[in-house]
């Protein structure tokens, strides 16, 4: 069988029709969305103020000690403070009140520094979910509370709202001047539940909603 000729005498191949192909086969199949990366842990504080205070104290003590050692090497008497401290440590027993107080203060300061070293700090920053492993974000608790308050004020019957957003729980205290309190509470649970999920937090806080009537004036 001869093929049809084109306008210039060239041959042109006819399109091949697939009888088994349906219109649904031409619809592009969307690719699945990538799985979001797991939420990041809490943000660690730099602890600049405690570190600066400890560094200054250690530098001052080391400077005084080095000066005293250099003075003794130069055939000068040691500092009176060091002589008095050595005498007190030599004469006072271990069960003396001031010795126990000094040991307790030193132990408390040491435990405080250890606690600062092993805890992350920055409790006001709530870690968010990580859609990309290279992206890390956090949301301030005050900003989260403002978002929840604005969404709660959109509910019919709500006169005023107070929101305290924490790391584990968000306390919502609403005042309703009309509508049934159970209906207002149900609407707040639904609206605030969607708002909490919309914040994109790695660990969404649990909601605690309370609704009351406004107090009587006078």
Q: Is 15 exposed, middle or buried (0-12, 13-18, 19+ CB in 10 A)?
A: exposed
Please give the chain's pLDDT, 218 residues, in tens: 444 544 445 555 554 555 555 555 555 554 444 444 455 677 888 888 888 888 899 999 999 889 888 888 888 888 888 888 888 878 888 888 888 998 999 999 899 888 888 888 888 899 988 888 888 889 999 999 999 999 999 999 999 999 999 889 999 999 999 899 999 999 999 999 999 999 999 899 999 999 999 977 65
Pairwise CA distance, residues 189 & 172, whole Å: 10
Name every residue whose Cβ is closer than 8 Å to that of residue 177 and which is 6 or more positions away in sequence: 157, 159, 213, 214
Pairwise CA distance, residues 199 & 154, whole Å: 17
| Residue 210 near residue 217, CB atoms below 8 Å | no
| Residue 166 near residue 144, CB atoms below 8 Å | no
Pairwise CA distance, residues 128 & 137, whole Å: 6
């Amino acid at each position: 069988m001869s093929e049809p000729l084109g306008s210039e005498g060239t041959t042109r191949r006819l399109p091949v029709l697939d009888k088994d192909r349906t219109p649904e086969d031409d619809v592009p199949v969307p690719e699945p969305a990538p799985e979001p990366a797991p939420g990041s842990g809490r943000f660690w504080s730099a602890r600049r103020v405690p570190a600066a205070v400890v560094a200054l104290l250690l530098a001052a003590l080391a400077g005084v000690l080095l000066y005293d050692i250099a003075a003794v090497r130069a055939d000068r008497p040691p500092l009176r403070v060091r002589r008095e401290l050595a005498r007190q440590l030599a004469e006072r027993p271990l069960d003396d009140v001031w010795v126990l107080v000094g040991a307790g203060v030193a132990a408390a300061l040491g435990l405080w520094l250890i606690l600062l070293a092993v805890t992350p700090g920055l409790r006001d920053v709530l870690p968010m979910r990580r859609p990309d492993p290279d992206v890390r974000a956090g949301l301030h608790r005050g900003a989260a509370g403002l978002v929840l308050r604005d969404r709660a004020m959109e509910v019919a019957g709500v006169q005023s709202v107070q929101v305290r957003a924490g790391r584990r729980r968000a306390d919502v205290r609403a005042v309703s001047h009309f509508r049934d309190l159970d209906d207002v509470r149900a609407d707040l649970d639904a609206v605030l539940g969607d708002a909490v999920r919309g914040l994109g937090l790695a660990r969404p806080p649990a909601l605690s909603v309370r609704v009351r009537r406004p107090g009587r004036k006078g």
